[in-house]
A and B are shown apart, each in its own frame.
Chain A
């Protein structure tokens, strides 16, 4: 029980601290950035990993590091008089409404200068709209729904690829396999029932039609279901040449388990990352996913060409106890891209940061990604974020597509 007296003493101490803090802040200015992730609920592990990734980037920005990343050299942001970034994390629990409320709180109460988030596309949709209303730049780290950058928002920026780019890469890969004489006629879609899954399936359905693949199953399922037996039964009956799942972690695990239980071995699978890029999925059911292909923004293989990738991965691994993956690499890059813009903006004014973000031009070699560069179109989308396809072989992902990035040929089909 807190007594009133203690409360008063505590409040007094707090106000004294803030008084003392004020002149100190003037001496060493700081920029506050709001970060929104699911820290509780079914996706909480995602939020925990995202926090590690973003804090790794923060370490590189705020301290002096000999890395060829923007703002790495020298402590803090040189363009802002050595100002350091301070992060305020918020938990949106994968709920779009909570995301909106938390974004408002970060903007009005924590006085942040920019927002970063949010993993679930459904949450990024409400957060980006809220940011727009308050004139607040939003760097969308890892939500891949294409509809997000098509809303005419002025303050939305996405350094990573979206699902149309990812899905195009998948179908390019299928076309290439066909050219090599492999039989690929039919595809099956399996996708979760929020904006992420639905948008992903819409793109894949369209591409399949355009490129002459027959759609033999089109299964929209309820996320976090207790059972996926009936759904898998439909996939099994269809028995397509390629299964294209779009799922978060819970469903990725359950889908794989249920497929094994019902004796369904898909000929091949190409996944839309998310749950299929998570280490825990492979810890749990990795033996049943041998040969699975996932789209990716990131590949540890790149470390052979660019040693900086290994350095950053080791920094992240020391915090998170796991390697960077498709999600955490994008989260890392989001703060780096924002820091680069803040550095050039030299101001915490929303419009100035917006202008700096719009003028971003970071060559791919100064990132940890296989991207050509980071430069945003008028809709805030980086069109140079070339995706790769990775295949789960043994106990790691190897890059198999496009040829320029590939380190091994694809194993196709994955099950015979």
Chain B
């Protein structure tokens, strides 16, 4: 393998890894907040992609400009999912963990079915974008602009999230709630409200990821599934609930996947990621940055 090809694989893996991290972080955030795994995370991503596609169609604006709007829409969807579904699932008297799984899993199937019904199973594609199809060439290394942009958005989102968590009252309330749900209720914090905002924030982050992905990926009712699986592995690898862990794990997953595809037949490229995942689960069940 030439140096050039090596650098290309490294760069491609890194860019994709940062996007994986952005997809995964919302999932990790919600889990950290309330110990609930959102099985509809991939469907949130899918809806964000359709939202981007639809808004581009209606407004004729570039998807880059529409990103905040998509994130806001997904924020509302996330908060609504908590208020309408998860809140009730958490009231279950027995087997609460299972009820939560079935509730979010059911939501996933509902959203998939609704998307297929409303949008048809045809493949969509955002055509009018300033970034689309452009590639940066640096000494024989090809870096697609949409992916570079996605990586920048991802890093910015992680930075913003860090500031939000450490500098704002909302962030502190979020952190306090994940530390001790009972105690925050005693000091007058409305737990339900924090949870709803947390779900909104998690969904808004995956909304950003969806808007980025819509620029260079096809849009389809099932598109969430393949990314959701990677998001679960990323979150488990980084440590459930750890925001920094999601960032590091996303990059690791992207790089391992890219290099596995070169070393092994590409059909086996997920093998490297899952082997690493298994190794981490055995050696460090809480993930790289997780707390037990």
Chain A positions near chain B (C-beta within 8 angstroms): 40-42, 44-45, 47-48, 193, 219-222, 224-227, 229-231, 233-234, 237, 249-250, 253-254, 257, 260-263, 280-281, 283-285
Partner of B262, one of A44, A193, A234: A234
Residues of B within 8 A of A193 (CB): 267
User: B126's closest neighbor in chain A, by CB?
Assistant: A284
Q: Would you give the shortest CB distance from B227 to chain A, in whole angstroms? A: 6
Residues of A within 8 A of B137 (CB): 263
**Structural contact, A220 and B221, CB atoms closer than 8 A:** no
Q: Would you give the shortest CB distance from A62 to chain B, in whole angstroms? A: 27
Residue B16 CB within 8 A of the other chain: yes
**Structural contact, A48 and B5, CB atoms closer than 8 A:** no
Chain B positions near chain A (C-beta within 8 angstroms): 5, 8-9, 12-13, 16, 113, 116, 120-123, 125, 133, 135, 137, 142, 144, 146-147, 216-218, 220-222, 226-227, 230, 257-259, 261-262, 265-270
Q: With A40-B116, A230-B9 as given contacts, are A253 and B125 in contact (CB-CB < 8 Å)?
A: yes
Q: Would you give the shortest CB distance from B261 to chain A, in whole angstroms? A: 3
Kindly count the residue-residue contacts between A and B in the assembled complex, taking CB atoms under 8 Å apart.
104
Q: Would you give the shortest CB distance from A281 to chain B, in whole angstroms? A: 8
**Structural contact, A280 and B122, CB atoms closer than 8 A:** yes
CA distance A40 to B267 in the complex (A): 24
**Structural contact, A261 and B133, CB atoms closer than 8 A:** yes
Residues of A within 8 A of B135 (CB): 260-263
Partner of B222, one of A41, A220, A226, A262: A41
CA distance A193 to B257 in the complex (A): 17
Q: Would you give the shortest CB distance from B162 to chain A, in whole angstroms? A: 26
**Structural contact, B226 and A261, CB atoms closer than 8 A:** no
Residues of B within 8 A of A261 (CB): 133, 135, 142, 144, 146-147, 216
Residues of A within 8 A of B133 (CB): 257, 260-261
**Structural contact, B123 and A280, CB atoms closer than 8 A:** yes
Residues of B within 8 A of A285 (CB): 125
Partner of A230, one of B222, B226, B227, B258: B258
Give 12 A-B contacts (CB < 8 Å), ordered by A residue. Answer: A44-B116, A45-B120, A47-B121, A219-B266, A225-B226, A237-B5, A249-B123, A250-B218, A254-B218, A261-B133, A281-B123, A284-B123
Q: Would you give the shortest CB distance from A406 to chain B, in whole angstroms? A: 30
CA distance A262 to B146 in the complex (A): 12
Q: With A40-B116, A230-B12 as given contacts, are A257 and B216 in contact (CB-CB < 8 Å)?
A: yes
CA distance A221 to B266 in the complex (A): 5
Q: With A233-B12, A260-B133 as given contacts, are A45 and B218 in contact (CB-CB < 8 Å)?
A: no
Further pairs besides A230-B262, A254-B217: 13, Cβ < 8 Å: A40-B121, A44-B221, A44-B222, A45-B123, A222-B268, A226-B227, A229-B12, A250-B123, A260-B133, A261-B133, A262-B8, A280-B123, A284-B218
**Structural contact, B123 and A253, CB atoms closer than 8 A:** yes
Q: With A45-B120, A45-B123, A261-B216 as given contacts, are A220 and B142 in contact (CB-CB < 8 Å)?
A: no
**Structural contact, A227 and B16, CB atoms closer than 8 A:** yes
**Structural contact, B269 and A225, CB atoms closer than 8 A:** yes
CA distance A233 to B11 in the complex (A): 12
User: B133's closest neighbor in chain A, by CB?
Assistant: A260
CA distance A234 to B142 in the complex (A): 14
**Structural contact, B226 and A234, CB atoms closer than 8 A:** no
**Structural contact, B5 and A45, CB atoms closer than 8 A:** no
Residues of A within 8 A of B122 (CB): 45, 280
Residue from B217, B259, B266 having most chain A Cβ neighbours under 10 A:
B266
**Structural contact, B142 and A44, CB atoms closer than 8 A:** no
Partner of A231, one of B121, B144, B227, B266: B266
- In the complex, the 4 A-B pairs of residues with the closest C-beta atoms, listed nearest first: A44-B121, A230-B261, A261-B144, A193-B267
User: B216's closest neighbor in chain A, by CB?
Assistant: A257
Residues of A within 8 A of B144 (CB): 261-262
Residue from B122, B142, B257, B259 having most chain A Cβ neighbours under 10 A:
B122
User: A221's closest neighbor in chain B, by CB?
Assistant: B266
**Structural contact, A220 and B116, CB atoms closer than 8 A:** no
Q: With A229-B12, A229-B16, A253-B218 as given contacts, are A222 and B5 in contact (CB-CB < 8 Å)?
A: no
Residues of B within 8 A of A226 (CB): 16, 217, 226-227, 230
CA distance A83 to B113 in the complex (A): 36
Partner of B142, one of A40, A47, A254, A262: A262
**Structural contact, A222 and B267, CB atoms closer than 8 A:** yes
**Structural contact, B220 and A250, CB atoms closer than 8 A:** yes
CA distance A249 to B5 in the complex (A): 28
**Structural contact, A48 and B216, CB atoms closer than 8 A:** no
Residues of A within 8 A of B230 (CB): 226
Residues of A within 8 A of B147 (CB): 261
**Structural contact, A230 and B266, CB atoms closer than 8 A:** yes
Residues of A within 8 A of B266 (CB): 219-222, 230-231, 234
Q: Would you give the shortest CB distance from B123 to chain A, in whole angstroms? A: 5
CA distance A209 to B218 in the complex (A): 36
CA distance A41 to B9 in the complex (A): 31
CA distance A231 to B12 in the complex (A): 11
Q: Would you give the shortest CB distance from B231 to chain A, in whole angstroms? A: 10
